[in-house]
Amino acid sequence: MAGGLTRQFRMFGHYNAWANARLYEAAGRLGDADYRADRGAFFKSVHGTLNHLLATDRIWMKRFTGEGDAPDRLDAILFDTFGALRAARVAEDARIVAYVDGLDDTRVAGTISYRRVSSPEHFVQELAPALAHWFNHQTHHRGQTHALLTGLGQPGPELDLLFFQREQIKSASSR
């Protein structure tokens, strides 16, 4: 049986996919001009921020697994159209869920070795804090995207972890 930290990372992987689906549903209601408008966010627009999230997820998954394509820039625009970006997001979320569902306590207690995207520095880091950073980073940029959507007059979706957990409990009890 997986320990608490391993179970927590598995839950975060599922939460991440759930929250991304809700965020993309809301973003999909924007017109193209609003979707691409520079709103002063770090990655400028909803489009730029969603691409950044996918880019960094691919970077971290390459670090964690040694597999997959990883961009060499944090501001890479991996997909220019919303439809293609959304399809790639769904695929990456499935990959993330499979990865975290496959973790065990031994692996979570291990280390990873990687180079930064922005410099040649090499790091060896414990996996658990790297996973915690990664999931926190995703939440941070989803929050930015949520604020961008709100500023564009699009009601932002409920993204709280507790809301996800309540939905999971309700779904399990109705089976």
Query: Is position 89 within any domain?
Result: yes
Domain encompassing residue 124? 4-165
Contact 17, 100 (CB under 8 A): no
Task: Please report, for the domain that includes residue 65, its CATH number.
Answer: 1.20.120.450
pLDDT of residue 149 exceeding 80, the answer is yes
Identify the CA nearest to 54 among candidates 15, 80, 25.
80
Q: 136: left (phi > 0), else alpha (psi -120 to 50), else beta? A: alpha
Least confident of 1-5, 10-14, 106-110, 130-134: 1-5
Query: Is position 101 within any domain?
Result: yes
Query: Is position 173 within any domain?
Result: no
Identify the CA nearest to 22 among candidates 76, 79, 81, 89.
89
pLDDT classification of 98: cutoffs 50, 70, 90: very high
Phi, psi of 41 (to 5 degrees): -75, 165
Between CA 35 and CA 57 the distance in angstroms is 21
Query: Is position 174 within any domain?
Result: no
The pLDDT score that the predictor gives to residue 56 is 97
The pLDDT score that the predictor gives to residue 174 is 83
Query: Is position 48 within any domain?
Result: yes
Query: Is position 87 within any domain?
Result: yes
The DSSP line for 40-78 is SBTTBSHHHHHHHHHHHHHHHHHHHHS-S---S-TT---
Q: Which amino acid is located at 162 in the chain?
A: L
Q: Which residue has the tokens 């930015």?
A: 144
Domain count, the chain: 1
Query: Is position 172 within any domain?
Result: no
pLDDT of residue 16 exceeding 70, the answer is yes
What are the pLDDT digits (tens) for 40-87? 999 999 999 999 999 999 999 999 999 999 999 999 999 999 999 999
The pLDDT score that the predictor gives to residue 120 is 85
Q: Residue 61, CB half-sphere, CA atoms under 13 Å: how many?
A: 23
| DSSP state at residue 38 | -
Contact 120, 72 (CB under 8 A): no
> Span 135-145, mean pLDDT?
96
Query: Is position 10 within any domain?
Result: yes
Ligand-binding annotation for 52, yes or no, is yes
Ligand-binding annotation for 137, yes or no, is yes
Ligand-binding annotation for 146, yes or no, is no
Q: What is the pTM of this model?
A: 0.94
